[in-house]
Amino acid sequence: MSVTCCDRPDLVGHSGLLGTVWHAEAPTENDIDIHAAMPLLLSSHAGMFEQWQVDEAVRTGRLGSASYRCSDSLLFAAISVDEQQTAHGKDIAGAAQKAYAVLFEIMAAQGFTHFVRCWNYFADINMEQDDPRGRLERYRLFNIGRQAAFEAAEHSADVGAPAACALGTRSGPLTVYALAARCAPRCVENPRQVSAYRYPQRYGPKSPSFSRGSVLSDMNGGHVLFVSGTASIVGHESVHIGDVVAQTEESLRNIVTVVAQANLGLGCEAFSSHKLCYKVFVRHAADAAVVADTLQRVLGMSPEAVDLVILQADVCRAELLVEIEAVGFA
């Protein structure tokens, strides 16, 4: 498996194409799997056209509003759900439950049993909203719906949950895309942090359903590390409030720890923080340059040596200014 970033879709071959993601405006004349409307602020590439590919034959299908492509070993599925089309309208919990129910249905139909990595984007993630369960932040409502879908599908929402992220957009539907496999990934936790699925109830009625990372291995000895969206959290507390540089440094300390735990589980130094592909989300566009400089300084790498994309999005806690995710191949 590989991921390719470029600025022109016609420059990338479509043999073995699993999925396509746009993070900038998507040209309507192309066959786009998923569009996550987040402004592209800075990139070590010419643009932000992201393709997931495999060296296998791929078949394509649809189920309702979801589309998918799968090979013998991997499934890429994507869905967008308009909250206004849910039973109660403007219901992010209902939209999340519906989206994941469809994804689980696709997985079952195609013989895939394990989520490996999930990406979740929706509007107004930090806004509070009236709900029958009380007035709750939309991220917390999303977690209620996601966990309900996991439980209905009898899929673990705690130990064994996939790597994941949840970011806020300015507008648009709930957008979810995911990778799934037939074999179970090795889930990775961070000893510097409380596992997200073990957060105390002060963070919402239902805990987030994700692991800090996951490692997918193939029969040929190859490995892929997915680092979940990672922020300036130690234990379960947000730290360095108001300081985007310190938050970036703390986020990277957490990522370095996840990489070390992944290597420990494999029994070898398969991955290095210097060789990851980084995707960074900043709350404020003006912070993009200083966040990029901080990442390069902490990693001890020149700008041209870092595989980096910075997008503008809201982080799942209102006090957090930056979130970093990554993927590595070995």
The residues annotated with a catalytic role in the active site are 323
| Cα–Cα distance for residue pair 330/112, rounded to 1 Å | 23
Contact predicate 270/297, CB 8 Å: no
| Cα–Cα distance for residue pair 163/265, rounded to 1 Å | 16
- Longest pairwise C-alpha distance within the chain: 51
| Cα–Cα distance for residue pair 17/24, rounded to 1 Å | 20
Neighbouring CB atoms inside 10 A of 266's CB total 16
